[in-house]
Structure 1
Amino acid sequence: MSDMPHYEDQYLDLMRHIWRHGDERVDRTGVGTRSIMGAQMRFSLADDAVPLLTTKRVYWKVAAREMLWFLTGDTNIRELVKQGVHIWTDWPLDVYRRATGEDIDRDAFEARIIADADFAARWGDLGPVYGAQWVNWPIYEPAGDGLYRKRDRGHNQIAELVDNIRRNPGSRRLLFTGWNVAEVPDMALPPCHMTYQFHVAGNRLNGLLFQRSCDLGLGFAFNIFGLTMVTRMLAQQCDLEPGEVVWQGGDVHLYLNHADLVEAQLARKPAGAPRLRIARRPESIFDYRIEDFAVEDYAPQSHIAAPVAV
């Protein structure tokens, strides 16, 4: 049994390939990457399996809190930082520093976000990112004289998806997306994990994520957990068993300043079979809480630090 491939081997193989053979390019951040176009990985969710990386520690609760935050439709970092989640802070912090010239550090900025609702409203909003599109996609209606006005409440793609999986499981339209062309310029960061699609096979629900841009060294671990989590939630809500998740990357890259991370991770051997348990079935997909999720049998190797490119 010890010679059988581990689910994480495909991730490490992809990392090795990109680091050795990827096209070296200047990117939006100015850091530089090694990049390829097009990659795919598949992971079974049978027996509550979850494809958490074991060659380094993944703080899965951060990813879980982010996914639950997306499903609320919130686009302000205030609720995240209240929960100790910092992964979205760098973008509004950068905007604030550029606008004011104040050399404030992240902790001080987050403290002001939490303490001052007006400050958070002005400086903590990310624009119409992810959750805004998922549960409140803008709908416009005629307002006369050739003008249109935005409805107070938009289209809830997630609620419609749950309904469609239940009523029409054979549909090829079981998906939601965050890529709203008209609103991309207003987003702090256009959606990287942009389109999720689902497929019912017998009594199993399979989930697929197309990610236009993937930071394989840092971002992927959260993205694959988020895909697993939302697939599991949808399966539970629709009385289906989890099948597999398929991850597809467009521009898949490693940052040049992640050399230490890459070399350290490739020197490690994956092991273990963690499980994701969901403690209860809420009334709707919007009623899950962080306490409902637990990961068992997860014994990763140590965390590997690496800088985030903003």
Structure 2
Amino acid sequence: MRHPEYQYLDLLAQVLESGDERVDRTGVGTRSIFGAMVRFDLSNDTVPILTTKRVYWKTAVKEMLWFLTGGTNIQPLLRENVRIWTDWPLAAYRRETGENITQEAFEQRIVDDDAFATRWGELGPVYGKQWRRWLGSDGEEYDQIADLIRTLRENPASRRMLFHGWNVAELGAMALPPCHMVYQYHVTSDGRLNCLLFQRSVDLLLGAAFNYVGATALQLMLAQQAGLRPGELVWVGGDVHLYLNHLDQAREQISRKPRPFPRMKLLRHAKSIDDYRIEDFEVEGYTPHAAIRAEVAV
């Protein structure tokens, strides 16, 4: 059987070989295709943590746990040594103050100074806000995750088990509109929880690997909370692109041979979706190739 990671490597090759090249929002430029799908079977604890480069899976899981808090400030992330959201508030700070502060100094001020973090660490109403505190036209806040878990438990045959982050009224206030924007769930007759994630835009070299891990971690948590078993993760991409300064790195990754996927387990049964911690996740058998460095386009 062909290693499932080749689905991702084939996508890299397709974008390299036939992607449409154009200038993008960041000014870096991309090569992209429109419309792609990959599928991963999670039923035997195997998880799609890519092996053709090292993926810092704990960072992806910590980010997902932060989303679930409903938070929108980077201070809790930085206190967990997660720096993947710093670029946007740092760019805003430099632009508005004219101070050419280093990223390290900016992050340290966010960690140490609550008032500074409140002013400069906010990302606007991004993922967690929409997932846990969607503001309706009636002025009420809606917890999409709580509603999803309730439906998984009480009406698992429903075709309305989903949540999303594309709140049109609040897009302009977000540091970055949601890329992984719709998560839909499906329960089989024998109790397996499947997920389909639609991602409107994906940085294929840097972002996809984190999105696979984050979605997997969430699927494991939801399955546990609903008394189900993990099934299949189906990932669908809209604008699937490589930045033009990532092409050599993509070629390097394609040249590597995948190794066996690791296994991920939850070490305890959390009381609720809000009770999980990074220490609850264990990954076994992860022996990847070396990391591949690349710059994030902001």
TM-score between both structures, scaled by the size of structure 2: 0.98
Name the SS of the counterpart of 1:182 in structure 2.
helix
Equivalent in the alignment of 1:28: 25
Equivalent in the alignment of 2:252: 264
Q: Aligned-pair distance for 1:139?
A: 3.1
Q: Aligned-pair distance for 1:164?
A: 0.4
Q: Aligned-pair distance for 1:46?
A: 1.6
Residue 100, structure 1, aligned to residue 97, structure 2:
yes
Residue 86, structure 1, aligned to residue 74, structure 2:
no
Counterpart residue identity of residue 94, structure 1: A
Counterparts of residues 147-226 of structure 1 (less than 5 Å): 150-151=139-140, 154-202=141-189, 203-226=191-214
| Distance in structure 2 (CA, Å) of the matches to 1:56 and 1:45 | 20
| Distance in structure 1 (CA, Å) of the matches to 2:75 and 2:205 | 27
**How much is the aligned-residue C-alpha RMSD, in angstroms?**
0.8
Partner residue of 1:8 out of 5, 10, 24: 5
8 Å CA contact 1:208, 1:227 repeated in 2: no
Counterparts of residues 97-136 of structure 1 (less than 5 Å): 97-136=94-133
Structure 2: which 5+ runs fail to align?
none
8 Å CA contact 2:131, 2:143 repeated in 1: yes
Counterpart residue identity of residue 41, structure 1: V
| Distance in structure 2 (CA, Å) of the matches to 1:276 and 1:305 | 25
1:65-101 Cα deviation digits (max 9, x unpaired)? 0000000001000000011100000000000000011
8 Å CA contact 1:113, 1:119 repeated in 2: yes
8 Å CA contact 2:8, 2:38 repeated in 1: yes
1:106-155 Cα deviation digits (max 9, x unpaired)? 100001101111111000000000000000001344xxxxxxxx45xx11
8 Å CA contact 2:50, 2:261 repeated in 1: no
Equivalent in the alignment of 2:52: 55
How many residue pairs align between the two structures? 297
| Distance in structure 2 (CA, Å) of the matches to 1:186 and 1:57 | 34
8 Å CA contact 1:205, 1:243 repeated in 2: yes
| Distance in structure 1 (CA, Å) of the matches to 2:38 and 2:261 | 17
Equivalent in the alignment of 1:74: 71
Counterpart residue identity of residue 292, structure 1: D
Equivalent in the alignment of 1:281: 269
Name the SS of the counterpart of 1:48 in structure 2.
coil
Counterpart residue identity of residue 94, structure 2: R
Identical positions, percent: 62
TM-score between both structures, scaled by the size of structure 1: 0.95
Name the SS of the counterpart of 1:280 in structure 2.
coil
Work out which of the two has the higher radius of gyration on C-alpha atoms and give 1 or 2.
Answer: 1
8 Å CA contact 1:92, 1:123 repeated in 2: yes
Equivalent in the alignment of 1:144: none
1:198-223 Cα deviation digits (max 9, x unpaired)? 00012100011000000010000000
Counterpart residue identity of residue 205, structure 1: L
| Distance in structure 2 (CA, Å) of the matches to 1:185 and 1:193 | 17
| Distance in structure 2 (CA, Å) of the matches to 1:45 and 1:65 | 20
Q: Aligned-pair distance for 1:286?
A: 1.1
1:242-292 Cα deviation digits (max 9, x unpaired)? 110000000000010002211110110101120001001111111101100
